[in-house]
Amino acid sequence: MSKLSVRITDKSWSLIDITKSIVERALFATMAAYASRVILHSRSYPSNRLAKYWFQSYNSIRRCTVVAESDRQEPDNETSNNATPQRRRRCPGLSSYNEEFGATSLIDAYLYSGQVEKAWSYFNKFRRLNHDFKIDVYNDILLSLIKLQNRTKIEAFLHSMQGDGVVYDYNTYAILLMDAYYNGLRYENVKEIVDNLTAQGLDYRRTAYECFLSAQEVDIVAEVLEFYDLSHHKRSKSTLDDAPALSNLSDSICRVDHIEKYSKLFEYNDKDIRALVKEQIEREKVGYIKITTVRKAHEPDKWSNEQFDKLLSTWKTELTDAIDCEQRMISSGNRDASEETYRSRYGPFFNILPASLCADIALNTFRNCMISSYGTALNHLCKEIGGNILRLYLIKKKEEHGAIEKILDLYPSYVHHILQKNKESTLGSLDYWEKLSEDINKGPSMAPKLPIWPQSIKTAVGSALIEIFLRIAKINANMMKEKAESKIIPAFYHVYVFQKQRQVGFIKPHPTIMKLINRTQETEGKMFMETNMLPTLVPSRPWLCHHDGGYVTTPSPIMRYREDCFDQDVLLAKNSRKLRSVYDSINYLGSCPWQINKRVLEKCIECFNGTGNDMLDIPSPEPMPMPPYPIDPSIGPQEKRNIIETRRQVAKKQREHHALRMDILYKLSVAKHFENDIFWLPHNMDFRGRVYPIPPHLSHIGSDLARSIMLFAVGRPLGQEGLNWLKIHLVNVHGVKSKASLPDRISFAESLKDEVFDSADNPFTGRKWWQTGEYPWQTLATCMELADVWRSDNPEKFVSYFPVHQDGTCNGLQHYAALGRDTFGAEQVNLVSRDAPQDIYSAVARMVEEYRAIDATKNNKVAVWLEGKISRKVVKQTVMTIVYGVTKIGGREQIARQLQKLKGSSSEEEIFTASQYLVRVVFEQLSKMFYSARRIQEWLNDSARQIASAGKLVEWETPLALPVLQPYRVPVYKEQRTRLQRINLLSTTDNTSKPHVSKQKMAFPPNYIHSLDSTHMMLTSLECQAADITFVAVHDSFWTHAATVNELNKICRRQFVKLHKEPLLQDLEKFLRDKYDGLPTTRNNPVKLGKMPDKGSFNLDEVHNSKYFFS
């Protein structure tokens, strides 16, 4: 037994006498450790009282530390005292990013509320636990201490920073320059700071530009630097790292300057733009917008409206008072011992907003809870309220720093740059915004450092507000009854519902509330919608960093990742300076102005409020009727079970029907709200780099109906080729001849002239040809546009605002064929020039049929049964999803569903056997067509399996330097106690949990391909921006004006070839080997990646001449 020594740090002992021997202490510690393991792995805590006693006893004497002398490391006397100290190691107890961001947010909340002493106290507490803070936390505390001008604490804190080995950044030096200003502005002090900054390799002239301080503080820093440098100080532009060579657009660019642009936007002056920006800012501050629904409204019910308004007013007053009382109790520090645990979780964050604002957030959130009789899950409600508190807090911080005022100054010039009628400036959105910031030369930095709240903090804050609201929200249960006695009861109830064998807390409204809400909604027809789920009235604010951009004031992350997935946030922060091309691309997509197609919207609303139409994906107003419950005693047990099962299926369909109706109602209502406005769609991306509009209800990424009501707000004359592309677009969206050659599609569209006119003029009373299309609403919209063009005097000069699509042919397989240089596969997905487009699905169906015919001659019963049943439709979904990682099990289910739809299909057993046979053959035939690509997919799968087995997440970088991290981990439940209940927070992204090996393995190939198709889209958008071509994208579907389709086609082919001529697979292999090779796996075998498969002989330059690559 190794020698043990004891260090006494606390003389107060409650359970164990201080004279106990060292051996007894070691035994006690061992037993406590065993007891803690028993508790952690036990499902029944009350049954482990003895273990609990040992554990609690051990916790009470934790300050007596038992240390093994053999584990101690003596200090190295030879180490120089002037050497830079090592950064503190992260304590195992605070190892997750969740806890790191939680501690940072706690300190930020204390500093914001002016409780510097508490912030410093908590900071020192975490430091004693060896917690490793980022430089931003040190800067915030240092700034607060300097504002207080407490020299003793300032010197002590600077000593702590030096002891922790903190590396100063621009913000740190800016704060030190402020300190020099407050201390008399002596040249020696300023020179010492500037010398240290320069010695660190930084440029002192960039300090005022790089720091994130308030406008007044930045002016102080600028004044100090002017004092140091006799010449006038001008903040120099932030120099980003060199962008990837792939984003260089030095090649020839297709210019479209000769095609004029038309829009009422060109008439906007500075005053108009400033008014729109102010209106957008006010909307974002409020957080909600009242929208009139398109649903038919009944006669106004004055009494119900008055009662509901009176109820909300009463709740608002009482809730504000209750919140104010709670805030005063938190500030006073006089806390009830029983409440100490709960208030310690939410207290620091509860006081950052005024009571009235908190009350508004709670009431607006509960409005949505009142709509559904099912109620809302408590954990969802808590996180929503907590998230809204955070959103308003960040907006308030920006306002106090002067950032919003600076945005108002910048926006008019920025909007004029975005809306250039004749493109004069070639600067992108990001470059121009930075140039404007430099030219103004005042105000705060536009790249703020904003706190991130983990879901545990949002839950704690939200649950505290909900508990107060449930306590004060009362209603008269007899308010609907005339002359009935008043009966005051709670308006909302906290109930439990079982979901997937788990008990889940719900907040449900009282039935009286539901009746009142239904009456007011039927008469008023209003709904409340969050501002960050709606388009903006001005162009999206350019992304300057990974966590701020898009909306004008509302902070939004540029990447959509699962809650508490801080690994990705950390990676983006490290690579932010390399992502200029990514930012530019997303900024350009968000700068496209839109308007509503009013004629199509009118017809959609007419159908919605009428009888509906399942062919048009608009459900009827009346749901499926529920069959009566079996009460006849003569019904047998089996028949009764069948009726109950039927009722369960009908109830499920009723819920789905309601969800579909509400989804369409939201889309149409938002579109109606913006029908007279020009609006913009802020964009962000998922972890693979795929770009999406942030507003979910009104965008071009959505259903057929959603796409049909969208028009560009800038128009261009059709020109010589535009009319032909409109005809091709009509055939594409209708679907019947979409696989024909381009001349055949044009001829087919011309032969349908009468049908086009009839569809445009009489959508619901004519022959309704448009309803036979694959995408009927887009077909109707195109018919209306073509009818207008054909009726115009000069089609070439017709100004069209209509978006025309160019879609890739099974784009995932196109990337695989290019990666593997598969000649045969490239032909099937139109990478090679042909007179007619190739259809990969039909080709696979032909090969499968040939294989089946051979087997049928050998008396294979399954092959014989499948005669006449194999078609393009049967194999299409499986072929489409193989590239995205579908397994043979999933593929068999897809084929089985298609076989069941065939007439005369037999038993389930025959369909199961036939689908098993077909999925095997489909996989074999695709492997022949894309031989090299299939080997690449297997290599990616094997690499991901080894990496995940080593306990690491699979990570790589796209050709535009975007870091991609697969977030799949083993789910972990973390319990959080609130006054209402214990809430289990499900986390699949906590960096302390293990990677999910099977998900990491299966997801790597499709995610890698998605990262390539997103890179192709971004490269295309960058060149379109330089060429002044309107461009938006739905992943592998590129949209532009009919007049500029030819130019877009040249650009997208050129960028595809440019992308795949890069050594993509070699770069990926090198990245993975450098990062993961040699790591031990769970089986103690080191990670050893296999050899990259050989490529084929396909010549990528053939893509330049392919008509049907995108068409």
Catalytic site positions: 807, 876, 1036
Q: Which residue shows structure tokens 């839109």?
A: 594
Q: How many residues does the chain have?
A: 1111
CA distances from 80 to 76, 85, 158, 165 (A): 9, 10, 20, 14
Q: Compute φ and ψ for 450, nearest 5 degrees.
A: -110, 140
* Rounded-to-10 torsion of CA 383, 388, 391, 392: -150
CB under 8 Å to 328, separation ≥6 — which residues? none
Strands 559-560 and 64-68, by their bridges, are unpaired
Residue 796, class by beta-carbon neighbours within 10 Å (0-12 exposed, 13-18 middle, 19+ buried)? middle
Return d(Cα 350, Cα 440) in angstroms, integer: 37
Whose tokens are 């999910």? That residue is 996
* Distance of alpha carbon 340 from alpha carbon 335, whole angstroms: 6
Query: In 3-state terms, what secondary structure has residue 799?
Result: strand
DSSP-derived letter for residue 1097 is: -
Residue holding tokens 């090679």? Answer: 832
Cβ–Cβ < 8 Å for 138, 161: yes
Give 1015's contacts (C-beta < 8 A, 6+ positions apart).
246, 689, 958, 959, 960, 962, 1059
Rounded distance between C-alpha atoms, residue 408 and residue 400, angstroms: 14
Provide φ and ψ at 807, rounded to 5°: -105, 140
Contacts of 698-702 spanning 24+ positions with Cβ under 8 A: 698/534, 698/535, 698/667, 698/670, 698/671, 698/674, 699/535, 700/594, 700/803, 700/1032, 700/1034, 700/1039, 701/1034, 702/667
Residue closest to 680 by CA, chosen among 827, 504, 537: 537
Helix (H) or strand (E) holding 498, with range, is strand 492-499
Q: What is d(CA 110, CA 129) in angstroms, rounded to the nearest whole number?
A: 19
The token duo for 713 is: 């707000």
| DSSP SS3 for 1078 | coil
Are the beta carbons of 492 and 508 closer than 8 angstroms?
yes
Could you tell me the two tokens for 847?
């090969």
- Taking the C-alpha atoms of residue 199 and residue 593, their distance in angstroms, rounded to an integer, is 47
> Do residues 108 and 349 make contact, with C-beta atoms less than 8 angstroms apart?
no
DSSP secondary structure letters along 834-860: -SS---HHHHHHHHHHHHHHHHHHTT-
Angle at 988 between CA 985 and CA 993, to 5 degrees: 100
What is the spatial distance between Cα 732 and Cα 738, in angstroms, rounded to a whole number? 5
d(CA 570, CA 609): 49
Residues 6+ apart with CB under 8 A from 819: 932, 933, 936, 1012, 1060, 1064, 1065, 1095
Q: Left (φ > 0), alpha (ψ -120 to 50) or beta: where does 287 sit? A: left
Nearest CA to 281 out of 107, 398, 453, 190 is that of 398
Q: Half-sphere exposure (CA, 13 Å, Cβ side) for 881? A: 16
Whether the Cβ atoms of residue 1 and residue 30 lie closer than 8 Å to each other: no
CA dihedral (1070, 1072, 1076, 1078) in degrees, to 10, reads: -50
Q: Which alpha helices (DSSP H) does 930-1063 contain, by range? A: 931-949, 997-1027, 1045-1060
